[in-house]
Amino acid sequence: MVDFYGTQVDSRLMLGTAMYPSPAILADAFRRSGAGIATVSVRREAGGDRAGGAFWDLIADLGVKVLPNTAGCHSVREAVTTAQMARELFDTNWIKLEVIGHADTLQPDPFGLVEAAHTLAEDGFQVFPYCTEDLVLCDRLVQAGCKVLMPWGAPIGTGLGLNNLYGLRSLRAHFPDIPLVVDAGLGLPSQAAAAMEMGYDAVLLNTAVAKAGDPAAMAEGFARALEAGRLAYEADPMSPRDMAAPSTPVLGKAFLE
């Protein structure tokens, strides 16, 4: 169970809702994985009886928490306006904040991200910032009012996994009490398990599931990997060592002269 801004979520898996072959496959992926949070692009969908109402009904039937996002926003003004629209449409103060600074890598704009986070937090939003693993940036985001951090594993949609293990481990050590979610870049369940083994609290996926040959099976695979990785972390795993150590005790072994 994970706590985001005082809300308890049973699953550590968060799924995006774009690019699935069909609404039925999207729904099946959520059901088989048990994902507890769905991210929704405000630019693409709407809530209630407005445009996109059929999609909203589908998500509502799944019984998951909705996390609207500001995907595709490249300026503070655009992101803040989109977040305000999301609050009205989906009746939630939660917002996944994206302020993109580089068109090719989709890397966040650190300066715009902090400014937008500060503005939204002051307006009562509970901000989930999509960021890099930079410690200084993340510290500024926490100072701006963010109580969750969502560093990327790799650029969105690449499937490259955890590109900077040192940086991600450092982030976990530096913010022991802040929920950390690996957001973007994961391609395989093993990569999600590795994030859990480092002590991360959740992962957010979209492309790796939606673009799989069998999205529902892949979603379930990620869910199981998260459980395994979290169990390993909580079990206090052994530390790596350079030299071999026998697993069979030598005490009592016969020695021939």
For residue 154, say whether it is annotated as part of any ligand binding site. no
Which is catalytic among the residues 65, 96, 147, 253? 96
Mean pLDDT, residues 100-116: 93
For residue 144, say whether it is annotated as part of any ligand binding site. no
Q: Give the C-alpha distances (Å, rounded to integers) separating 71 from 7, 18, 68, 129, 189.
A: 23, 11, 9, 11, 24
For residue 206, say whether it is annotated as part of any ligand binding site. yes
pLDDT above 60 (res 49): no
For residue 210, say whether it is annotated as part of any ligand binding site. no
Angle between helices 110-122 and 76-90 (to 10 degrees): 40
pLDDT above 80 (res 229): yes
Cα–Cα distance, 65 to 63 (Å, whole number): 7
Give the pair of three-digit tokens for residue 62.
């799944």
Report pLDDT for 50: 54
Mean pLDDT, residues 159-171: 96
Q: What ranges do the domains of the chain cover?
A: 2-235
pLDDT above 70 (res 98): yes
For residue 184, say whether it is annotated as part of any ligand binding site. yes
Mean pLDDT, residues 181-195: 96
H/E element holding 77? helix 76-90
pLDDT above 60 (res 44): no
Cα–Cα distance, 129 to 101 (Å, whole number): 14
- How sure is the predictor about 103, in pLDDT bands with cuts at 50, 70 and 90? confident
Active-site residue flag, 253? no
Report pLDDT for 43: 64
Cα–Cα distance, 11 to 2 (Å, whole number): 7
- CATH architecture of the domain with residue range 2-235: Alpha-Beta Barrel (3.20)
Report pLDDT for 255: 63
Mean pLDDT, residues 114-137: 97
Beta bridge partners of 182: 203
Mean pLDDT, residues 136-153: 97
